[in-house]
Structure 1
Amino acid sequence: MSTTRHATARVLCVDAADRVLLMRWRDPVGGKLIWEPPGGGVEAGESLLVAARRELVEETGLDPGGVIDRWAPVQRDMWWNGLHYTGTEHYCAARFDREQPPLGQDGLQPDELASLDATAWVPWDEVRALADPVEPPQLLAVLAALLPDGPWAVGGHAAGAGAPDEGEGAPDRGEGAPDRGEGAPDRGEGAPDRGEGAPDAGAGAAVD
């Protein structure tokens, strides 16, 4: 079974020591745990950039000024809360000039707080070693596409994490107006994000 959701924007947050911020969510059906970057649904009238900054503040309390307006579309295919979700999400990055800036979840709804198990600044080279699955599995490849000057990129590819498909262009630059499409579930329904889907943000490279 699949579901249709709204467009989704996610943020790969990186601190001054190249740690990546991940949030661990517990599936209400079966209790499966996954790690995932902050993000959620694009509301009516929002651009990807505005949505990403809003979601970042709501889920982490971090400064939205760190969000970089550059995008990589990522295919998602996962089961959550008893449903199968497929579609495209759009990812951007955010840089912070201090180590492990403090977090807050004041913007999360009660049902989201119930599903949130943990948040952590994870050293980039330990992401693949986490005991619980990381979504998307190609997270380091997405990070390399968005921040190609970082230590996770070797020869233009994510170190040890695969790479974007050949023949694909660079990530989008600019906000764009996302179309509605299919995507991952709403975190308010016990899912890993609060809104979701496949925005059409132009000619960016899909990271499979």
Structure 2
Amino acid sequence: MYRPNVTVAMVLKSGDRYLMVQERDKLSGEVVFNQPAGHLEENESLLQACTRELYEETGITAAPLGLVGIYSLQAKNGVHYLRFCFYGELEQCLEPKPQDADIMTCHWLTHEEIQSLALRSELVRQCIDDSQSRPLIPLSHLSYQVG
């Protein structure tokens, strides 16, 4: 049976800067930038996955304020990803301390700085743009049930 890979991402903003992680693309070997993001794990809600991935990749704890959108991507590696992108804000840029060995480093960057970067996919830029140009979907629209 066909099942897309479910991923979560967090657009985290402080002032005019966005938190970006720098990592090596496992397919191409290129160094790319992404939002803190990763896969939904078994017995985990989307919100739990989002906050866990944010912490693992940056060492920062922050709660999402809303859902930016749900995105479908047929990636270059042949995998279909269903991405749930969340949005959060911090009053100040906290110093990131990645817990995940796959993250090379983290940066707080302006929208303009992000435009010239090699991105993991075009969804990275689209999620940032969408977070600023459309209303957030309330978290109350998400439901997680066990059993």
Q: TM-score, normalised by structure 1?
A: 0.58
* Aligned mate of 1:78, from 75, 79, 102: 75
1:96 CA displacement: 0.7
Residue in structure 2 matching 1:142, options 110, 127, 134: 127
Letter paired with 2:83: E
Do the aligned residues in 1 keep the contact of 2:19 with 2:35 (CA within 8 Å)? yes
Identity of aligned residues (%): 18
CA drift of 1:49 comes to 1.3
Structure 1: give runs of 5+ residues left out of the alignment. 149-155, 157-169, 179-208
Contact 1:48 1:176 in 2 (8 A): no
| CA deviation after TM superposition for structure 1 residue 23, in Å | 1.3
Match of 2:36 in 1: 38
Counterpart in 2 of 1:173? 138
Aligned to 2:48, the other structure's residue is in SS state helix
Say whether 1:103 aligns with 2:93. no
Residue by residue over 1:139-196, the C-alpha shift from the partner in whole angstroms, topping out at 9 and shown as x without a partner, is 3442343343xxxxxxx6xxxxxxxxxxxxx653223349xxxxxxxxxxxxxxxxxx
Distance 1:28 1:41, change over 3 A: closer
Which residues in structure 2 correspond to 1:46-195 (within 5 Å)? 46-65=44-63, 67-79=64-76, 83-98=77-92, 100-106=93-99, 108=100, 113=101, 115-130=102-117, 133-148=118-133, 172-174=137-139, 175-177=142-144
Between the aligned partners of 2:144 and 2:121, the Cα distance in structure 1 is 23
- Mapped contact 2:4–2:80 kept (Cα < 8 A): no
**AA partner of residue 75 (structure 1):** S
RMSD: 2.6
CA-CA distance at 1:5 after TM superposition: 5.4
Q: Per-residue deviation at 1:71?
A: 3.6
**Shift, 1:92, TM fit:** 0.7
Radius of gyration: which is bigger?
A: 1
CA deviations over 1:25-61 (Å, ceiling 9, x no partner): 2134542222111121222232211211111111111
Alignment gaps of 5+ in structure 2: none
Q: 2:132, 2:25 → 1: CA distance?
A: 30
2: CA distance, partners of 1:136 / 1:171: 22
8 A contact 2:24–2:30 mirrored in 1: yes
Q: What's the offset of the Cα at 1:90?
A: 0.8
Aligned length: 142
Indicate how the Cα distance of structure 1 residues 119 and 177 shifts in structure 2: closer, same or farther if over 3 A, else same. same
